[in-house]
Every structure is written in structure tokens, then in C-alpha cells.
Structure 1
Amino acid sequence: MWYSTVLTLSPRPRGFHLITRDVQTALPELGRVQVGLLHVFVQHTSASLALSENASPDVRRDFERFFNRLVPDGASYLEHTDEGPDDMPAHLKAALLGSSLTVPVSRGRLALGTWQGLYLCEHRNAGGARSLVLSLHGETNG
């Protein structure tokens, strides 16, 4: 079985946001897959995806602080500033983290570890709605 859909997430503030439930809700077909893979792709160059700890909000804040220190807004060495001081840093952060994730599916569920969750990493101050392509492939139970 192959299934694909586009999930449009409402605008979120800059930061790291758990989206595991959003993805699962957008894929009721997931429950039929006994073994397979889910590929998640963000269709933007200033947002990214990550897989990390899902319980403590401190982790999400620490991610944001780390990446802001690694690639600060308005850095003097950046040339691309047409869309504001957060634009080029957002592109760099997205390139570092990546635009896709592949997660195994087992017995109708994402085969995530106990403390793992999917993140949308919003790197712009006003990034707007974000579109994710969800592609599910696997063997169903009938």
C-alpha cells in the first residue's frame, strides 16, 4: 500500500514544536499498516524537521537557544538579507537539520522510542503555515 497526503500546519511561533500527534491524526491509514515506513517532508527552506526528546519543554527551548547561538540573526557575514535578519539564518538552520524524516511503522503505529517525538523546527519569526508531505508505504492487515 502507498498513501500520500499533504498536512498543512497552522502558523507557529519561532521554535521547536512537537507535531507527532498532528502527523498521526492526518494519517488514519497508519492503523492498517503492519510493517512499513512513513516519510515526512517539509516543503519550505526556512523550517526543518527533527526527531528528539518529546517530554520536557526544556529540550525544545535548549534547541532554540543552541541554534540561535550557532547561527545568529543579523550576523554581519551574511549577505542574503532581503527578507529580514532572520531569513538567511533560517535557511542555514534548515539545511543543518534537514527537510525530511523517515520513521518505521510497526503494527499500526509509528515505531518511535518512548521519549521520541517529531518536531517542526520553525526558524522564522513569522514563518506562516507550513506544508508537510506525508508518504506512507507498507503492508496492511487486509
Structure 2
Amino acid sequence: MRQATTILSLDTHGQGLTDITPAVAAWVGEQRMEEGLLALFCRHTSASLIVQENAAPEVRTDILAYFARMAPEDSRAYAHDDEGPDDMPAHLRSILTGIHLSIPLIGGRLALGTWQGIYLFEHRRSPHRRSIALHMAGA
């Protein structure tokens, strides 16, 4: 059994979904493992990780609209507003979606479905520099 780790750093453009599948798949390929498990961990409390459809852009638009309704930016609704009206909703959205993923590696490739992609979900309005820890164990 082998293990490999790295930190993937990227800049977001504000609220939205950033497809990180190509960067993750490239790193996985460099490890030259055939079978195993990839763990991804978002090192932030106002961004998250999701696996979602990568074909229709309307899916991403609808996801953003849904989370705007689930955790609205209403400063009257939250005690914590130290960093602005989008701060507490960003924390809630990351709780709802999660900050870690596990994806099997089969035949040297991530076992994602045909229409699945890995996304960093930025919940803040402003651009941020985000980092994701990757850990792969396999052979």
C-alpha cells in the first residue's frame, strides 16, 4: 500500500461552483496508482466540496438559487456578522454540503459517473484563495 498527499490551491471568483475535476484527476494520474481511495478535505469553513453534474450549467445556477433560499443573506437573522452579511450564511451552506469527499480509484481512474464532476463550492461573495488537502491510499 502506498500513500500520497498534496495541497491543491486555487482562486475563486466569488460565490459559485469551480470545477476542480481536471486538477484533481491530473494529480491522481501522477501518482500512478491503480486501485485505492482518494480523500479530499476543504480547509475552510465558508467553502465546501460537492460532486455534482458537470454537463448542464443550469444545474449550477439552480444549486446557487436553492442555497440562497436555504441560508439567506439576511443580517437580521444571524448574531454572527463579523465579516459581512454573507459570512454566517456561508458557514451554514458549508455545513449543509460538507467539507470532505471520498472517491474510489479503480483502474487508475477516479470512479466518477459519466456526468459527475468535483466542485469547490465558494459560499462567499468575494474572491478567495482556497486550499484542499488531497490524500490517496492505494496500490
TM-score (norm 1): 0.92
Which residue does 1:12 correspond to in 2?
A: 13
CA contact (8 A) 1:17 1:60 kept: no
Q: Please list every run of 5 or more consecutive structure 2 residues that lacks an aligned counterpart in the other structure.
A: none
Which residue does 1:39 correspond to in 2?
A: 39
TM-score (norm 2): 0.94
CA distance in 2, matches of 1:26, 1:73: 36
Range with bigger deviation, 9-18 or 48-57: 9-18
CA distance in 2, matches of 1:53, 1:18: 10
Which residue does 1:92 correspond to in 2?
A: 92
CA distance in 2, matches of 1:121, 1:50: 7
Q: 1:35 to 1:27 in 2, by over 3 A?
A: closer
Which residue does 1:3 correspond to in 2?
A: 4
For residues 76-135 of structure 1, give each alpha carbon's deviation from its aligned partner in whole angstroms, at most 9, with x where no partner exists: 221100100000000000011000000000111101010111111000011411000000
**Please, what is the CA RMSD of the aligned residues?**
1.2
Kindly report which structure 2 residues correspond to 1:20-99, keeping only aligned pairs within 5 A, or say none.
Answer: 20-30=21-31, 32-99=32-99
TM superposition outliers: structure 1 runs of 4+ over 6 Å: none
CA contact (8 A) 2:29 2:108 kept: no
CA distance in 2, matches of 1:78, 1:127: 23
CA contact (8 A) 1:36 1:106 kept: yes
CA distance in 2, matches of 1:54, 1:80: 34
CA contact (8 A) 2:11 2:127 kept: no
What is the total number of aligned residue pairs between the two structures? 138
Kindly, what percent of the aligned residue pairs are identical? 46
Q: Please list every run of 5 or more consecutive structure 1 residues that lacks an aligned counterpart in the other structure.
A: none
